[in-house]
């Protein structure tokens, strides 16, 4: 398997998913944290392509 | 066994995929193939104890690369062809008991990023002509897995509805010198009665010509041919308006609304497409809280939809929801 990095994107960290916040759906744009989408290319147990996406903060 | 068979009267490919008869159908709790795999438990499609968003090639694909040769060879006027393409499943979240409407905007925004990546990467494949991203939600749409997920088909040909749309897009551009989608947005903004949600960069409305009750179309206000053209702010804005529209659906009758979601983008031919604009269309099959609209003989045979609701009234109901 290999990992690739795409251009920085704005989603927040994956851990925020667990917080299950209910962000106001009327929001749009605004100051956004700089994050990077990472893609791990691997396979399912029977060998089909499986892509696992994670999102990391890059503001550090 | 999968192949393309030409329908000579409609002028379109029909995909046979007999193996899809065997696909997983509404598995019991604990046997969801889209949940993360927990130690000692049912091995799902994702052999990890957690994930954020996962995409994998469909176990029961309608389209494959490389494709198998047709099992039954056609002949004129009904040729057959290999069903070349890609069928993928997109798991929106590791959590089983939720929906797209219930996901945080930040998670939907990640999904927008994933959609964009799949569109761009698959679009670079020389065999792929069109990337179609979609979701079926709810048993009324025939969904076989309740875990929140969507799918994509990357076709080796332009699918028939897109061919028809392109014909009309091209004709309008030639006759009027402007993009038909821009004209539709201008019309809806001027009228106002069919608008469901008006955000900074995005507009959601029930189209004047809605075929389905509570049908909603989402458009970028600026000319964007595909997801790869969106700015960062527009990506977040798209996530926000998707959540807004789907939450309105769920509030309308106080239970999760079933829908078919279709995303239209430019063909992946590396050519400019000023005639088109990306958009997302929702087709809920329910005409009331308890009664569904069927795609019956009028719709399936003649292709003429009979909508028993007024778009101006359904838009008002969704605005009030």
Q: Residue A59 corresponds to which tokens in the numbers above? A: 């503001």
pLDDT exceeds cutoff 70 at A59: no
Question: What is the rounded distance in angstroms from the CA atom of residue A53 to the CA atom of residue B162?
Answer: 29
Q: Is ipTM strictly over 0.85?
A: yes
Q: How many angstroms separate the CA atoms of B252 and B249, rounded? A: 5
Among B149, B181, B217, B226, the one annotated catalytic: B149
User: In the sheet that B149-155 helps form, which strands lie side by side, from edge to edge?
Assistant: A2-9, A35-43, A49-57, B53-57, B85-91, B149-155, B130-137, B259-264, B279-283, B216-220, B202-205, B195-198
d(CA B287, CA B142): 17
- Distance between CA atoms of B68 and A52, rounded to whole angstroms? 27
Q: What is the DSSP string of B32-83?
A: -TTSBPPTTS---SB-SS--SEEEEE-SS-SSBSSPPPPSS--BTTB-EEE-
A5: closest CA of chain B, how far (Å): 11
> Which is nearest to B247 in space by CA: B116, B108, B128?
B108
pLDDT higher for B122 or A4?
Answer: B122
Q: What is residue B28's predicted lDDT score, i.e. its pLDDT?
A: 77
Q: Is the dihedral of CA B294, B296, B302, B306 positive or negative?
A: negative
Placement of tokens 């799949």 in the chain: B118
Percent of chain B with pLDDT over 90: 87
Query: Among B56, B59, B233, whose Cβ lies nearest the Cβ of A29?
Result: B233
Give the integer Cα–Cα distance in Å for B208 and B190: 13
Tell me: pLDDT of A1 over 50: no
- The pLDDT confidence band at residue B239, using thresholds 50, 70 and 90, is very high
pLDDT of A24 > 50? The answer is no
Q: Answer whether residue B163 shows pLDDT above 90.
A: yes
- Mean pLDDT rounded to a whole number for chain B: 95
Over residues B161-187, mean pLDDT: 98
pLDDT in the model for residue A32 = 57
Got the DSSP string for B154-165?
A: EESS--HHHHHH
Q: Give the tens place of pLDDT for each residue, B182-192.
A: 999 999 999 99
> Between B160-176 and B180-191, two packed helices, what is the crossing angle to 10 degrees?
80
Give per-residue pLDDT as tens, B25-50: 677 778 899 999 999 888 999 999 99
pTM of the model: 0.90
Report pLDDT digits (tens) over B241-276: 999 999 999 999 999 999 999 999 999 999 999 999
Q: Distance between CA B147 and CA B164 in Å, rounded? A: 33
Residue-wise pLDDT tens digits, B210-220: 999 999 999 99
Identify the pLDDT of residue B100: 97
From chain A, the residues in CB contact with B243 under 8 A are 23, 25
Per-residue model confidence (pLDDT) at position B18: 79
User: Does B4 score more than 70 pLDDT?
Assistant: yes
In sequence order, which residues have a C-beta less than 8 Å from that of residue A38 and are 6 or more positions away?
Answer: A3, A4, A5, A6, A53, A54, A55, A56
The structure tokens listed for B20 are: 């899809």
Residues of B in contact with A46 (CB under 8 A): 59
With 90 as the cut, is the pLDDT of residue A17 above it? no
Nearest CA in chain A to B242: A25
Cβ-based burial of B166 (10 A; exposed 0-12, middle 13-18, buried ≥19): middle
């Amino acid at each position: 398997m290999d990992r690739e990095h795409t251009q920085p994107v704005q989603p927040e960290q994956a851990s925020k998913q667990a917080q299950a916040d209910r962000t106001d759906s009327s929001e749009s744009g605004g100051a956004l944290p700089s994050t990077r989408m990472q893609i791990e290319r691997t396979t399912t147990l029977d060998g089909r392509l499986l892509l696992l996406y994670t999102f990391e903060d890059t503001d550090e | 066994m999968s192949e393309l068979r030409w329908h000579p009267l409609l002028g379109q490919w029909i995909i046979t995929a007999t193996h899809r008869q065997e696909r997983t159908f509404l598995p019991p709790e604990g046997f969801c193939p889209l949940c993360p795999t927990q130690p000692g438990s049912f091995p799902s499609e994702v052999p990890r104890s957690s994930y954020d968003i996962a995409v994998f090639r469909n176990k029961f694909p309608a389209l494959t690369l490389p494709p198998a040769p047709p099992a039954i060879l056609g002949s004129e006027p009904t040729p057959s062809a290999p069903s070349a393409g890609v069928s993928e499943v997109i798991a929106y979240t590791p959590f089983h008991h939720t929906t797209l409407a219930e996901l945080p905007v930040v998670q939907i925004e990640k999904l927008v990023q994933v959609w964009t990546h799949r569109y761009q990467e698959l679009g670079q494949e020389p065999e792929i002509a069109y990337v179609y991203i979609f979701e079926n939600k709810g048993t009324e749409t025939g969904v076989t897995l309740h875990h929140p997920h969507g799918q994509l088909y990357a076709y080796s040909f332009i699918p028939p509805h897109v061919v028809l749309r392109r014909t009309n897009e091209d004709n309008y551009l030639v006759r009027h010198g402007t993009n038909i989608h821009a004209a539709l947005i201008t019309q809806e903004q001027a009228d106002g009665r069919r608008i469901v949600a008006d955000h900074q960069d995005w507009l959601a409305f029930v189209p004047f010509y809605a075929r389905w009750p509570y049908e909603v179309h989402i458009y970028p206000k600026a000319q964007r041919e595909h997801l790869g053209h969106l700015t960062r702010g527009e990506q977040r804005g798209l996530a926000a308006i998707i959540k807004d529209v789907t939450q309105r659906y769920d509030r309308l009758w106080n239970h999760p609304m079933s829908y078919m979601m279709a995303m239209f983008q430019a063909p992946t031919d590396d050519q400019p497409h000023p005639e088109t604009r990306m958009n997302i269309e929702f087709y809920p099959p329910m005409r009331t809280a308890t009664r569904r609209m069927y795609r019956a003989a009028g719709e399936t045979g003649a292709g003429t939809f009979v909508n028993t609701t007024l778009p101006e009234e359904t838009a008002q109901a969704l605005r009030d929801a």
